[in-house]
Amino acid sequence: MGPVSRARAEQIMSERGWLPLLPEAFRTEVLRRSVLLHFAPGETVFRLDDPAGGVYGLVAGTVSASLAPAGATPRLILLGVPGHWTGEGCFLTRKPRRAELRAVVETTMLHLPLDAMDQMAARDPAVVHHVALMLMMTVEFLFRVIHDLQKSEADRRIASVLQRTTWIGETPIPLTQSEVGVMANASRKQVNAAIKRFSEAGWLTNTYRSIHITDPAALRRFAEGDGTD
């Protein structure tokens, strides 16, 4: 995947995720003030406890987000979906980063710096409400993560993790079985057995470092307890 052009990036972000939900004037200013950035596989966007900064919107590629309560080591929680923005906590609290964001594959992002956000908010108090919407979209996603982790059977937790990753699009999921295990609170043995089962059912194919979901609807039904037991 080559670098995404500025024009294409603005088109993608105008059509997906947070920005399309907001007034056109605000959307236009966010895009005008944002910087287009490209990240190599494995490159860090920001780390836990980095100084306060602005927000990042995922244009293309995949990012991993690792989160933790204060004093704990961050663990992989989710993969970013194109159109999704993150990093809003610094704007709302003025505190350092509470997560780590890393590019998994070659990735393009838009970055709206904190000082630009402050200038926009000084002129229009509604900007704070717009950023709060970004926060609530993240909270809704985390509600789903909590719901999935409370499932008693490891197979259904693993299916839930795999099904959530289909939100990033049709590309193979760039996760190892160990990483799936972290996200599903499951052992490597449980993940290996579940992936074998799902593969035999025709729901996915997998290689050493990637998984390709071929029947997300079946995986979702199983994850919610409505499929084959």
Average pLDDT of adjacent 10-residue blocks, the chain of 229 residues: 86 96 97 97 95 97 90 87 93 95 95 98 98 95 93 96 76 82 96 96 85 90 75
Which of 159, 145, 140 minimizes the C-alpha distance to 225?
Answer: 159
How far is 203 from 219, CA to CA, in rounded Å?
7
What pLDDT does residue 3 have?
Answer: 76
What pLDDT does residue 24 have?
Answer: 97
What pLDDT does residue 168 have?
Answer: 58
What pLDDT does residue 10 have?
Answer: 97
Please state which architecture CATH assigns to domain 6-147: Sandwich (2.60)
How far CA 6 is from CA of 74, 155, 212, in Å, comes to 32, 42, 29
Which of 94, 95, 103 minimizes the C-alpha distance to 56?
Answer: 103
How far is 133 from 105, CA to CA, in rounded Å?
28
Q: What angle do CA 159, 161, 165 make, to 5 degrees?
A: 115
**179 within 8 A of 76, measured Cβ to Cβ:** yes
Please give the DSSP secondary-structure letter assigned to residue 167: G
Sequential DSSP letters for 16-52: SSSGGGS-HHHHHHHHHH-EEEEE-TT-EEE-TTPPP
What pLDDT does residue 167 have?
Answer: 66
What pLDDT does residue 170 have?
Answer: 59
What pLDDT does residue 70 have?
Answer: 83
What pLDDT does residue 81 have?
Answer: 84
| Domain range summary for the chain, segments of one domain joined by + | 6-147, 151-223
Q: Which fold has domain 151-223?
A: Arc Repressor Mutant, subunit A (1.10.10)
What pLDDT does residue 34 have?
Answer: 98
Q: Do domains 6-147 and 151-223 have the same CATH topology?
A: no
How far is 160 from 228, CA to CA, in rounded Å?
14
